Chains A and B, each alone.
Chain A
Amino acid sequence: MSFDQCAGICSSYASILLTEVLRYNIAYGNSSLLTLVQEFRQDNVLMLILQWRSPNCSLCSQLIFLAMMIQAQPAWAVPQQRWSPNRPCGKLSLVLESFVVVTALTLSIVSHPYHLRTSLWAAGAAHSWNSDPHERVYFYANYETPPPIPFIWSEEYVLLCSVLTIKYGSST
């Protein structure tokens, strides 16, 4: 996943968030991004269904937005979910989640440098546990095509994540 894809996901998500907060907090106004389509008034609660007209929104964002519109309902009808973050257990889960996600991001960044994986590849080859990265030199010297770099040590192969995540950057 490239950084523009990640930025696309974040921007789409921020727009979705803005839409939801606007729908809930009943913030009116004519924005270029959001258009008020329909309005319901039940008791003292207003429900807004907003249409997203951003030309750069990705397919997945549109699907999420469509799902949000389908489940759109007045605030008084929103059931209190058992996993609601407003409950004490929900707040505890938020605190735990903060530790977990920050730790995961830190570990990912620390273990990112490519020379770490190269050193692991070479160390495994020294003990005959996996292929040897230095053997590729002999293939090149004999004008032969070396075998593809294994996925676990590779820098160039497309990960399944890129298929699963939102394809944003190359589709616009």
Chain B
Amino acid sequence: MTDRPRLSVARSNIAVAAIGIGLFLSRWFLNWCRFHLGCIDLLYDLLMCALWSASLAGQSASDLSDREHLSIRPWYLERGCAAVSQPASRACALMQAQWVGSAVVL
């Protein structure tokens, strides 16, 4: 057991997306080989479903560190991006797009 890995929501999203790409490439390759994975394919779908669910939960985490400014959901999911100025509005749009993309993949 080595040191505890230093992870973040963003890094884990990349890792999950990379696994999704790997699964897609393998499916494409197996389709090219005219090969069927059968039940294993279903297992892969369930695995990706769990991963993207965890990713969505991480992207929707709360901020309860300040008792006077509790945030159950990230503000960029609850409010629009028009209320803030650049560069936060661009980051807000990106995070919203990523959340929607994760939901679509799920």
Contact = CB atoms under 8 A, between A and B. Distances in A.
Interface of A: 1-2, 5-6, 9-10, 13, 17, 20-21, 24-25, 64, 67-68, 71, 78-81, 83-86, 90-91, 94, 97-98, 100-105, 107-114, 116-117, 119-120, 122-132, 135, 147-162, 164-165, 169-170
Given A100-B104, A100-B105, A158-B4, A6 B38 contact: no
Contacts of B105: 100-101, 104
Contacts of A101: 17, 20-21, 23-24, 105
A15 B83 CA distance: 50
Contacts of A13: 22-23, 26
Given A68-B40, A114-B10, A165-B19, 18 more contacts: A6-B19, A13-B23, A94-B31, A100-B104, A102-B21, A107-B17, A111-B97, A111-B98, A116-B94, A119-B87, A124-B63, A131-B69, A151-B58, A159-B12, A160-B54, A164-B54, A169-B2, A169-B5
Contacts of B58: 151-152, 159-161
Contacts of A149: 65
Contacts of B95: 111, 116, 120
Contact of B63 (A67, A68, A135, A152): A152
B18 A6 contact: yes
26 contacts: A1-B11, A6-B18, A9-B19, A13-B22, A64-B43, A83-B41, A86-B34, A91-B31, A94-B27, A108-B10, A109-B14, A111-B10, A111-B91, A111-B95, A111-B98, A119-B91, A120-B76, A130-B69, A130-B74, A132-B69, A147-B65, A151-B61, A152-B63, A154-B9, A165-B15, A165-B51
A158 B92 contact: no
What class of interface size applies to chain B in its complex with A? 35 or more
B82 interface: no
A131 B102 contact: no
Contacts of B36: 78, 80-81, 84-86
Contacts of B31: 85-86, 90-91, 94
Contacts of B104: 100
A164 B26 CA distance: 21
Nearest to A132: B66
Contacts of B84: 123, 126-127
A104 B20 contact: yes
